[in-house]
Structure 1
Amino acid sequence: MTDTLGGTGDITAMGQDAPTYFEQALGSLRTAETHIGTEFQDDLELTLDTITKAAPRFVFMPVPGRIRIETQPDQVRAFYEGSRAEFLPDKLRARHHITSDWFYFVESLASRRGTRDGQEYTVNTAVLFPKAPDGIVGEFLWERYDVEVSEKDPDRFDIARAPGARTDLPLRPVAALFVHDRIVEALRNNDAEALTADYAHDFLLGARNYLAGQGPMVAGEGREAALAYWRQFFDEFTVDEVSVLNRLTGDWYVFAEVALTVTVRRAPEQGQRQFRTASIFPILADGRVQGELSYGTEIGAASTRETGTWGRAFFAREGFTDPLF
């Protein structure tokens, strides 16, 4: 019998009845869509019944530029009650979604109706729903909001700059990809300063906390708070390998699932381990990263098979100079 990393991040026994990746991915999809569907019914208890009772983890954006983390069932209930008192969901239009064995991600246009004025509001959101055995772990929700950008080169996303362009081109998403690729490379190099170099001064962090002796979630406001977290992370872990398993780039964000092989340096857990994270990075047109909302699996035993570093964003002929970026 072999140990393997299960869909929720736990070490589980591999046996005849172990669920396949296909079954676990369908479970993530079913769990998230069931939760989302209840939000369009006027029964809060239905929605709360789709959330894990054991250890909920929520990151909300109550107002633009602020995040709020809740990890207790009564706090989650209170937030939903307050939200329903202000807005009622009318419609969600899923523009992109990604399903994995342990999460569901969706970018959408969502319409909400104000309970006081009856006015409809439409917002662009990116939401991560990690899965637990008894429902969603929670919602990690970023609501897009406008920030004034001082653009040094206002024409840098003009397709006229692309040699031989025959159609419109997704230049802004690819620019965001360059930013995320720098973050991944810094993670591989165990370099906290480089990892946070593109973070905005008012960067917002809401993520699973992997540091010893601290709470289940890390919250931080400002680039310096994020830098302090990553410095401590690299004190406790050495990152050996990073592979990007899934990555989706939009005009204003990058979503990525990465697999990390690390060497744990803290006693008494020393040794090589593996885990996965799924993260939302909102990115402005000038390349500043507004925040990171992230969750991850439990830290599990490292695979004995060769893993390596995969998930490259760019391939190019040697000596090629990119005219676009």
Structure 2
Amino acid sequence: MKIIFAGTPHFAASALEALLKEHQVAAVLTQPDRPSGRGMQLTASPVKLLALAHGIPVLQPESLKTEQAQSDIKALDADVMVVAAYGLILPKAVLELPRLGCLNIHASLLPRWRGAAPIQRAILAGDTETGITIMQMDVGLDTGDILLTRRCTIDAHDNAQTLHDKLAALGAASIVEALRADNVLTPVAQDNDAACYAAKLLKGEALIDWTQDAVQIERAVRAYNPFPVCQAKFNDVVLKLWQAEACDAMSGHPGEVLAVDKSGITVACGRGALKLQMLQRPGGKSQPAVQFLQAMPVRAGDNFQVH
């Protein structure tokens, strides 16, 4: 099958790598190179790097709404376009160009968590299960017919990175399965009444509010790892929190340090308490609490600033 692949980050690169083993990829669409790192050097996406390594033509339009972009795609005469975390809106004209339309690899069990951040929103909500949906794309936001779903457990210690990696592998296997010639897929319309929206992540939402329930804060620590990473203020220093554990209720006001030992720093929340296990100072590296405390002493009775 002749495929156009549209994607940008590592999640998409996993799918492209799997497709290359079974299909002809005529071209890759990916986001333009972006400044990245401390030096803000223009950096190619993981999908572009993989495509170039395999000698596949790469197209990087700023928009798919232009006549030039649509003409370039039409000229490829593809059977299908596979889309995974591409980052650009596909207008109706583009959706109709491939013979079999455009298929999306979405990291949730649609219609739950339509939108930009399904992995993080699932963890934040306390979901115990998510998965991959292969969807026939339409002009709506993740509203197309479902062709195939595969489920994945969200473990109690999964963060956004570990869950991403599981779903990337599952997504790669799912799209290969969906495109096999002997696999007849029956489109199933989504139940729009059951839909919920996975809004894009904002850095501001990662600032910890100690008046919240400890369980909810612990979910946030996992959901925002590795981006944007939960933050808390201690003596006017902004610390990053990479790992934490919710504890049974202990008396204290929100933000109060209740206990300090080698296993972590226990902080009172609006309900329950949170043991901070991996922390990072400005300019430093993420460290277990026992190492962090050697550089920044924290004692019972101290207070984190309440958001």
TM-score bin, normalised by smaller chain: under 0.3
Report the structure, 1 or 2, having the larger strand content: 1
Q: TM-score, normalised by structure 1?
A: 0.24
State the structure with more CA Rg. 2
Q: TM-score, normalised by structure 2?
A: 0.25
